Amino acid sequence: MKPFDYIRPDSIAEAVAAGAAPGTAFLAAGTNLLDLMKGGVTTPDRLVDITRLPGLDRVEPTADGGLRIGALVRNAALAHDPAFARAYPAVAEALLSGASAQLRNAATVGGNLLQRTRCSYFYDPASACNKRQPGSGCDARGGENRLHAVLGWSESCIATNPSDFCVALAAMGAVVEIAGQQGVREVPLEDFHRLPDHTPERETVLAPGELVVAVRLPAEAAAFAGHARYVKLRERTSYAFAVVSAAAALRLEGGVIAEARLALGAVALKPWRAHAAEQSLTGARPGPEAFRQAAALALEGAAPSGENGFKIELARRIAVRALLLAAAGTPERLPPLPASPFSHLPGVPLHA
């Protein structure tokens, strides 16, 4: 591992100032960053340890009835909070579907937003990767790419975003709070991650030195609590990243869909919010036909980036399944393996 300097600031302002220097990375749990450093994929000159910054480990209600989640809140702590799981079940289900229990105990909310793609060519310093070394090329374009992007990809990069949590956050209209040298700004989660275009090395809208300090769920997100699900299909039914996934939420009035939310995961370099699909469901009666039409709209414009054309139809089917499960109602208990389409039996309590 390349030698690096280590800094532990006492305030957000100090962290932002230190992080603005070239070659700097912020360190929280390090569940992704340290692996990248050990493999020589990321080689920062110094780390700014933010784990002792005050106030970033809190979950607090907002004045408008929403919820503010500090960037240092642990994934497991949030997912297992009974009040949170009742109000935002699809988000809790997405959190519990990611990684292993040990990693969820360590990983943080802010770190989840910033985790890097799991493209094997990105992780291999011997491979050409425009994300790791701009202008070097993309070996994934002619390599093993069956799990790569089918939406929003470019000739420069066909990688996907690995997060489960962010898919549900995008569906719920979450907002990211970002601290920088010019103060605090807010960015909708669905705009936080960037598509590759010609600059795949720029994965988020963060400027140098900017720090994610919180994620905020709006008050209206809790209105979907009775009909919200996250579904994840993986190659093995344990501790794997998604082949495709979907977060779906419905607000029903008189047997009709008054409002719908749908976002797809593992299909692009960012969580894919399907606005056209949502609009098509407004005023419709919930059912397979309406959901199939919505899923078709969600994948409109999708195209294989290699040997992965199957992902388009698979994503349509997972979207339909997520919508059907959401229409059936949020269960009192999550499946034994949360978010698995193969789980049918009741498992861990949701409303403990």
Q: What is the pLDDT of residue 342?
A: 61
In a domain, 157, yes or no: no
pLDDT tens digit sequence for 97-110: 999 889 999 999 99
Of the pLDDT bands very low, low, confident and very high (cuts 50, 70, 90), residue 333 is confident
Tokens of 97: 């579907």
Q: Please report, for residues 48, 55, 182, 297, 337, the alpha-carbon distance to residue 9 in angstroms, rounded to integers and kept in the order given.
A: 7, 14, 18, 47, 39
332 vs 278, more confident: 278
CA–CA separation, 173 vs 188, rounded Å? 7
Return the closest-CA partner of residue 230 out of 322, 163, 113.
322
pLDDT tens digit sequence for 232-261: 999 987 789 999 999 999 999 999 999 999
Q: Is residue 347 pLDDT above 60, yes or no?
A: no
CA–CA separation, 64 vs 79, rounded Å? 22
In a domain, 238, yes or no: yes
In a domain, 171, yes or no: no
In a domain, 57, yes or no: no
Q: What is the pLDDT of residue 272?
A: 98
In a domain, 219, yes or no: no
Helix H or strand E encompassing 246: strand 242-253
Return the closest-CA partner of residue 214 out of 178, 254, 249.
178
Return the amino acid letter for 241: F
Q: What is the CATH number of the domain that holds 290?
A: 3.30.390.50
Q: What is the pLDDT of residue 351?
A: 42
Tokens of 186: 């807010």
**In contact, 171 and 248? CB cutoff 8 Å:** yes
pTM listed for this prediction: 0.95
Q: Is residue 26 pLDDT above 50, yes or no?
A: yes
In a domain, 127, yes or no: no
In a domain, 144, yes or no: no
**Number of separate domains in the chain:** 1
Q: What is the pLDDT of residue 238?
A: 77
CA–CA separation, 89 vs 248, rounded Å? 11
**In contact, 161 and 190? CB cutoff 8 Å:** no
In a domain, 249, yes or no: yes
For 126-186, the three-class secondary structure string (H helix, E strand, C coil) is CCCECCCCCCCCEHHHHCCCCCCCCCCCECCECCCCCCCHHHHHHHCCCEEEEEECCEEEE
Residue percentage of the chain with pLDDT more than 70: 95
Domain that holds residue 239: 226-328
pLDDT tens digit sequence for 160-206: 999 999 999 999 999 999 999 999 999 999 999 999 999 999 999 99
CA–CA separation, 251 vs 227, rounded Å? 7
Question: Which residues, other chains included, contact 152 with Cβ-Cβ below 8 Å and sequence gap of 6+?
Answer: 195, 196, 268, 269, 270, 272
